[in-house]
Amino acid sequence: MIARRGRAAASALLSAALIAGLVGCSNDPLADQYRAGDNKGYIAGDFRVVEIPAADRGDPVEFEGTTESGDSVSSGDFAGGVLVVNFWYAACGPCRAEAPDLEKAYSAFEGQDVAFLGINTVDAPQAAAAFADTYGISYPSVMAAQDGAVKLAFAERTPINATPTTLVLDGEGRVAARIIGQLPDDSFLTTLVRDALDEL
């Protein structure tokens, strides 16, 4: 009887120590979001801006895909200009919240050597088109759910570990800047785009 109580107490003490150890060394935002159990359906970034000096940029991102309206698009269509690429999907709350800021930034560069392209990672074309109508998005999106090669082309050049993520590609098609997480407003993006434009 005493031996059983001793084993039970030792087991309880060991379990508590393991839990404390795991909690103490947990510093993983993804794991924290999972444990929170809020079922929000997206992986949130922590809003970080990473600018990459021209000398440190990798190879150009080469991609091709089909937009929600069925048009073919490829990296060659944007050669020589700045390209803003936004990874999103319709059920993503931060994607909805930042949509007006993306459209505002897009409008700010009308007539300049700047293009915007969404990369929808989950939805069917009809859902992406409905999102564009609802949120007033006037630039196209590539449907990556039907063609994983589009996502892979970007992932080979830069980490895409949060949704939304926004990239600024320079005139050579290289990743010049990365915004991880939801845009707080359009000013961060427009500044990065102007910097890339100045390099042309």
pLDDT at residue 116 is higher than 90: yes
Q: Does domain 48-198 have CATH number 3.40.50.300?
A: no
Q: What is the dihedral of CA 88, 200, 71, 90, to 10 degrees?
A: 10
Mean pLDDT of 75-102: 97
CA distance 39 to 117: 28
Predicted confidence band at 108 (pLDDT cuts at 50, 70, 90)? Answer: very high
pLDDT at residue 187 is higher than 60: yes
pTM score of the predicted model: 0.78
pLDDT at residue 99 is higher than 70: yes
Mean pLDDT of 60-71: 96
Cβ-proximal residues to 74 (8 Å cutoff; 6+ apart), any chain: 62, 63, 64, 65
pLDDT 10s digits, 24-64: 333 444 334 434 444 444 444 567 899 999 999 999 999 99
Backbone torsions φ then ψ of 125, nearest 5 degrees: -55, -35
Mean pLDDT of 8-28: 40
Question: Residue 162: what pLDDT?
Answer: 87
CA distance 90 to 59: 30
Q: Which stretches of 26-107 are assigned E, i.e. beta strand?
A: 48-51, 64-66, 72-74, 82-88
Q: How far is CA 35 from CA 38, 63, 92, 164, in A?
A: 8, 36, 19, 21
Locate the domains of the chain by residue range: 2-36, 48-198
Predicted confidence band at 182 (pLDDT cuts at 50, 70, 90)? Answer: very high
With beta carbons less than 8 A apart as the criterion, state whether 50 and 166 touch. no
Question: Residue 22: what pLDDT?
Answer: 37
Mean pLDDT of 155-161: 86
Mean pLDDT of 60-70: 96
List the one residue out of 150, 138, 141 whose CA is nearest residue 92.
141
pLDDT at residue 14 is higher than 50: no
Question: Residue 103: what pLDDT?
Answer: 98
Question: Residue 46: what pLDDT?
Answer: 62
